[in-house]
A and B are shown apart, each in its own frame.
Chain A
């Protein structure tokens, strides 16, 4: 036993820059390429198709969200139960996720079942039945979800800020609900046609056994290959500062969501912005966590995170607070932002954030599934092949003046959109 116990932390080493996930581009007969990650020991295969259409496409989420739910609920050959049972026999999962600009479908299974699962994945994508009964049921379930979520302060704050952020107005719950209720099957079928048959998805695969490459490329070649489609991204800018509130009497807590603009294009600027945002509220040791949770105990958690898109990016801070502490919490958030804008940053804080981020970069490469998602994220935003090395290098170059400039440019409280519910 070391005696006395060492008070100094053991020496650390964060010098190793993480590598971009190892992958190759495999040309396909459709004219596009498959991003194929190097194999690892992991017994899983994952195939992802990313379509360049997201919920921003129609300016409202429902046709696309409903479509996402309906895919897998029956095909031209099989009922929903039959199709899902066949997928289960392969031990396979289909993940579906939508954001503002893209829609991703992923097939995950053990290596030995990939060839069996691919035809089912194809059936889901190209031969979904989208019949009236399934649509009616899914719509009913979505309305139920909507009503359930309406009771949550965090969801109401999210809706409030999103409606203002993306539509420039506050859309009240009744209007949102009536939009969902007015949704009909034809709208969903039209969305299906546009999404699957008029767009060329990007393909990413990992964990693929050599013998599975032929069925995989054959599957990809069988997808529609329309030419010349442009991604459907609506131009968008962050609206003016606002203070919005949704009253929910009887709730013992309020949800608070604060939003502001973030850099979109230049990666060096983004590196500095991310560094500043993490220091302010993006990790457990951040200013906001220390001040608002660890010192004052107003909240269970508070987090700042960047939302990165091709059209425009933004940051947001989310928290749920003791009902009577909203103004105090906002005041502390502003105080910490102003301190950063005035250059009040200690060298120890910078060192901690730098090292924390160096570890976070490495952590995104832990395991085949993380590497798969990391590659998709980097490729999707058009980052260069040396992105991770550049990001790692930047961590050791950012200083107090850079953080001050980034804070002045991006988190000035005069530009905040504050949405609260409770």
Chain B
């Protein structure tokens, strides 16, 4: 990243990153809370995401979050993943104070009324239907997680395991979850845009400085035991084409091998010139679309393959071919030019992301959460220094057939 930033930590534990850019008229205010679906009780999944919705329903001193921000010319949104919950707003730089005023109050003073919870339950249930129940292949993500993880809470999706969890979770449980996880020492605040760093820091201290930190430590999460046997599941669904999903356990984002496997997935599927497109789609005619990617989670995650198959192709046979393909590419075809091309594209993608304040603020927050935003200026060099040997070693260590999970998602006509 070409944009320098400052880091400060307030006495209550709030970490603040400030990144000035005088070429934009805007400022982005990004708050990353260290709570995600992995922190949920298995009895009440989907809670972190439901709470994200409720964070827009007003706080103790400000009954409506959205209107003041819109009056300041701003937009806002949020997302929840398995690791964290991220909120952002983008507004004209002159109105930064409005965003800080709003965010500080909802950080510790959320107003959770029964009525608001009931409406947001309905909204989230419609989101559940729209994205997961009413879509072809909509349950593939949930099935694949259940197949991949036996202990770790990554075994359920952010939206939750079932609509019933969202319908029935008591308001007291939602309130307890909020009080446990929302606090300045659980948050990283990033300001990026047209601002004076000193003035911005004074504003942050004014609005957030006396909010209380919370001492409750996060409870340790269950570790996923090593996988030693392949797993296989077959389901039949009313979809036009069969789909294949495969996963292999791999380290979390801070492990040295993460970048190696991430780069390998880019070599395979990060471009129309990659092996997936050229070999599996063009030459072998196995797939209609799909490819390899990594789950990029903080805790140990998965190296993934997901695709729909060409008509007439048998799912189990393709799965075997995919497993062999990984080793064939790594051992026989991978070369330094493949790695060079993937890192060149990565450099452009990063610059593309940094072209607006909102993405830049999110990248800074995520990197800080993972261990330090300074990594954004060094990570590309780490990727560029990886060798064919590094990739081959990682493929042999992690992508073994006995570690694979395979979901054969068949059309009902094949049942």
Residues of A near any B CB (own CB < 8 A)? 1-2, 4-7, 9-14, 16, 18, 40-44, 72-73, 80-85, 87-93, 108-110, 113, 137, 140-141, 144-145, 147-148, 150-153, 250-253, 283-285, 293-300, 320-322, 351-352, 355-356, 358-360, 362-363, 365-370, 422
Chain A neighbourhood of B135, CB < 8 A:
151-152
> Taking the complex as formed, is B317 at the interface, i.e. its CB lies under 8 A from any CB of chain A?
no
Which residue of B is nearest A250, CB measured? B238
Q: Is the CB of A9 within 8 A of B71?
A: yes
Say which residue of A83, A251, A294, A365 sits within 8 Å of B134 (CB atoms). Answer: A251
Having A84-B271, A283-B75, A300-B130, one finds 6 other A-B pairs with CB under 8 Å, namely A9-B72, A88-B271, A89-B341, A253-B126, A322-B126, A367-B356
Q: Is the CB of B289 within 8 A of A13?
A: no
Q: What separation, in Å, do the CA atoms of A297 and B67 have in the docked complex? A: 19
Say which residue of B60, B129, B209, B289 sits within 8 Å of A144 (CB atoms). Answer: B289
Closest CB of chain B to A16's CB: distance in Å?
A: 7
Say which residue of A10, A82, A83 sits within 8 Å of B97 (CB atoms). Answer: A10
Q: Is the CB of A18 within 8 A of B126?
A: no
Q: Is the CB of A141 within 8 A of B288?
A: yes
> Taking the complex as formed, is B81 at the interface, i.e. its CB lies under 8 A from any CB of chain A?
no
Which residue of A is nearest B209, CB measured? A1
Q: Is the CB of B119 within 8 A of A9?
A: no
Q: Is the CB of B73 within 8 A of A358?
A: yes
Chain A neighbourhood of B121, CB < 8 A:
297
Q: What separation, in Å, do the CA atoms of A90 and B337 have in the docked complex? A: 12
Q: What separation, in Å, do the CA atoms of A368 and B351 have in the docked complex? A: 11
Q: What separation, in Å, do the CA atoms of A363 and B356 have in the docked complex? A: 10
Chain A neighbourhood of B98, CB < 8 A:
9-10, 12
Q: Is the CB of B26 within 8 A of A91?
A: no
Q: Is the CB of B119 within 8 A of A252?
A: no
Say which residue of A84, A367, A369 sits within 8 Å of B357 (CB atoms). Answer: A367
Contacts A41-B2, A299-B126, A300-B127 known; A369 to B352 CB distance under 8 Å?
A: yes
Chain B neighbourhood of A11, CB < 8 A:
97
Q: What separation, in Å, do the CA atoms of A362 and B94 have in the docked complex? A: 12
Contacts A16-B94, A80-B282, A297-B123 known; A367 to B24 CB distance under 8 Å?
A: yes
Q: What separation, in Å, do the CA atoms of A366 and B25 have in the docked complex? A: 6
Chain A neighbourhood of B60, CB < 8 A:
5
Of the listed stretches B323-331, B342-350, B389-397, name the one at the interface; the rest are far from the partner chain.
B342-350
> Taking the complex as formed, is B206 at the interface, i.e. its CB lies under 8 A from any CB of chain A?
yes
> Taking the complex as formed, is B52 at the interface, i.e. its CB lies under 8 A from any CB of chain A?
no
Q: What separation, in Å, do the CA atoms of A5 and B90 have in the docked complex? A: 23
> Taking the complex as formed, is B122 at the interface, i.e. its CB lies under 8 A from any CB of chain A?
yes
Q: Is the CB of A84 within 8 A of B71?
A: no
Residues of B near any A CB (own CB < 8 A)? 2, 21, 23-26, 60-62, 66-68, 70-76, 90-92, 94-95, 97-98, 101, 105, 109, 118-124, 126-127, 129-130, 133-136, 206-207, 209-211, 238-241, 271-274, 277-278, 281-282, 285, 288-289, 308, 310, 337, 340-342, 344-348, 351-352, 354-357
Say which residue of B73, B119, B241 sits within 8 Å of A295 (CB atoms). Answer: B119
Q: What separation, in Å, do the CA atoms of A320 and B130 have in the docked complex? A: 7
Which of B73, B127, B133, B357 has most chain A Cβ within 10 Å? B73
Which residue of A is nearest B63, CB measured? A7
Closest CB of chain A to B111's CB: distance in Å?
A: 13
Q: What separation, in Å, do the CA atoms of A83 and B282 have in the docked complex? A: 14
Q: Is the CB of B282 within 8 A of A362?
A: no
Chain B neighbourhood of A140, CB < 8 A:
288, 310
Q: What separation, in Å, do the CA atoms of A296 and B288 have in the docked complex? A: 40
Q: Is the CB of A297 within 8 A of B352?
A: no
Say which residue of B70, B211, B278 sits within 8 Å of A285 (CB atoms). Answer: B70
Q: Is the CB of A152 within 8 A of B71?
A: no
Say which residue of B68, B97, B351 sits within 8 Å of A42 (CB atoms). Answer: B351
Contacts A148-B241, A150-B240 known; A91 to B347 CB distance under 8 Å?
A: yes
**5 CB < 8 A contacts A-B:** A85-B341, A113-B344, A141-B288, A151-B238, A355-B70
Q: Is the CB of B92 within 8 A of A359?
A: yes
Say which residue of B24, B105, B211 sits within 8 Å of A366 (CB atoms). Answer: B24
Chain B neighbourhood of A284, CB < 8 A:
66, 70, 75-76
Chain A neighbourhood of B71, CB < 8 A:
9, 12, 351-352, 355-356
Q: What separation, in Å, do the CA atoms of A296 and B121 have in the docked complex? A: 11
Say which residue of A2, A91, A368 sits within 8 Å of B345 (CB atoms). Answer: A91
Q: Is the CB of B340 within 8 A of A14?
A: no
Q: What separation, in Å, do the CA atoms of A89 and B127 have in the docked complex? A: 41
Chain B neighbourhood of A252, CB < 8 A:
129, 133-134
Chain B neighbourhood of A10, CB < 8 A:
95, 97-98, 101
Which residue of B is nearest A82, CB measured? B273
Contacts A89-B344, A367-B357 known; A12 to B73 CB distance under 8 Å?
A: yes
Q: Is the CB of B75 within 8 A of A359?
A: yes
Chain B neighbourhood of A366, CB < 8 A:
24-26, 90, 356-357
Q: Is the CB of B278 within 8 A of A80?
A: yes
Closest CB of chain B to A119's CB: distance in Å?
A: 16
Chain A neighbourhood of B127, CB < 8 A:
300
Which of B24, B118, B127 has most chain A Cβ within 10 Å? B24
Which residue of B is nearest A137, CB measured? B282
Chain B neighbourhood of A285, CB < 8 A:
66-67, 70
Q: What separation, in Å, do the CA atoms of A80 and B60 have in the docked complex? A: 59
Contacts A40-B23, A366-B24 known; A356 to B272 CB distance under 8 Å?
A: no
Q: Is the CB of A44 within 8 A of B348?
A: yes
